[in-house]
Homo-oligomer: A and B are copies of this chain.
Amino acid sequence: MLRQLRPQSALFKQSPSRLLATCMRAYSIEATSASTIKLQDIDPSKLSITKTKTPKELVPPNELVFGRTFTDHMLSLEWTAADGWLPARITPYQNLSLDPASCVFHYAFECFEGMKAYKDKDGRVRLFRPTKNMERMNKSSARIALPTFDGAAMIQLIAKFAAMEERFIPDTRGYSLYLRPTMIGTQRTLGVGPPGSALLYVIASPVGPYYPTGFKAVSLEATDYAVRAWPGGVGDKKLGANYAPCILPQLEAAKRGFHQNLWLFGDEEYVTEVGTMNMFVAIKNKETGQNELITAPLDGTILEGVTRDSVLSLAREKLAPEGWIISERKYTMPELFEASNDGRLLEAFGAGTAAVVSPVRNISWKGNLVECGLRPDQEAGEIAQKMKDWIESRQYGDEEHEWSYVVPK
């Protein structure tokens, strides 16, 4: 609950978009100046480590299920509005003990990231574009009045943690250590207000390919009865709040035999995201015959995917010189339907950290099964396959690239 204030007589006069910009800026400036002037930011040199006395047995890589088994330890940092970030701790993986009134249980004060640590051919541990994850996490946390932090300092801590858990990272291609930075509000009151305390923690889970059967094209059901995100909402942030409401449409799609649902938006039936991934389509232009790789623009309803950004960068680097147009633009189901009927829909795929690239075979939409360019015996299109290879090459360090962050030994 906010404390009572008298209304000011001078009223705020700004356009809505400027107002939001001002608000968001004011908020992060406050947060930044607060942390530099009065409050402690994250200081990696203050890390304390308590090692487990009961190391876990490793699960054979082929038995790994996404996000089900975890490593020996966890990294955690407490924050209070009075002190800022307290020293980080690596401890044995353990339950959190929280007051049942903690605001994370009631008002969804929670945001997270998904990132991975890979083992390269020389046995070194590598993170992939961790700066992107920290930038996004700060945007997510600021949007729900959780604290921001020094991303570079946090990457140092995550790197130390990943190095400690190195034995859990399978050295088989396609396998990695999934890292889950999570921030939750821990204030113990039911008043709806900004949390006065928070916990940032990272857990790690050794994972194989997200889809257990491997690189296999999926069938989607277009969802038009529920809406994932909207302008002025929070669908572009990685908040817990965006996930629980997605399950029912996923279950409904699964009930009718589809692997994932495809989120549409508006009367125009814009294609936005697939399940919990960004969506890409490759289309041959009707007039020019030119190939175009398309994904929805970051208009506030689309998650700023790190893999999405990697796909776009790689496409501009490697496909554009071959004559491809790379577009961040709105596109619709009717447009895909027409392209499919004309044989111009070359391929479609989802992109996300968990699956990297997930080829799409077809989309159920208004009683039609819109085919997405794959032959019946084909599980991935040419672009999806290339993207997976290009991205993995940088993730696993086969190609030295600034996207790869080598964890110090």
Contacts and interface: CB of A to CB of B under 8 A. Distances in A.
Interface string A89-107: 0000111111111001111
Nearest to A146: B244
Given A67-B190, A105-B182, A191-B66, A232 B227 contact: yes
Given A244-B110, A245-B233, A276 B192 contact: yes
A369 to B, nearest CB: 6
Interface string A62-74: 0001111010001
Q: Which of A244, A255, A362 has the most CB of B within 10 A?
A: A244
A258 B2 CA distance: 10
B68 A191 contact: yes
A203 interface: yes
A144 interface: yes
Contact of A247 (B189, B194, B243, B254): B194
A212 to B, nearest CB: 7
Interface residues of A, number: 103
Contacts of A257: 5-8
A108 B243 contact: yes
Contacts of A218: 4
Contacts of A367: 11-13
A259 interface: yes
A203 B100 CA distance: 8
Contacts of A364: 7, 11-12
Contact of A231 (B70, B180, B227, B233): B227
A66 B1 contact: yes
A355 to B, nearest CB: 10
Contacts of A13: 367
A177 interface: no
A74 B106 CA distance: 16
Contacts of A368: 11
A153 interface: no
A288 to B, nearest CB: 33
A243 to B, nearest CB: 4
A259 B17 CA distance: 22
A340 interface: no
Interface string A362-386: 1010011100000000000000000
The 8 closest A-B pairs by CB, nearest first: A67-B190, A227-B232, A108-B240, A107-B243, A241-B241, A7-B219, A230-B230, A8-B257
Interface of A: 1-8, 11-13, 16-17, 19-20, 23-24, 26-27, 65-68, 70, 74, 93-101, 104-110, 112, 143-145, 178, 180, 182, 184-185, 189-194, 201, 203, 205, 210-213, 216, 218-219, 221, 224-227, 230-234, 239-248, 250-252, 254-260, 275-276, 362, 364, 367-369
8 contacts: A7-B362, A7-B369, A19-B225, A95-B98, A101-B205, A104-B104, A108-B243, A145-B251
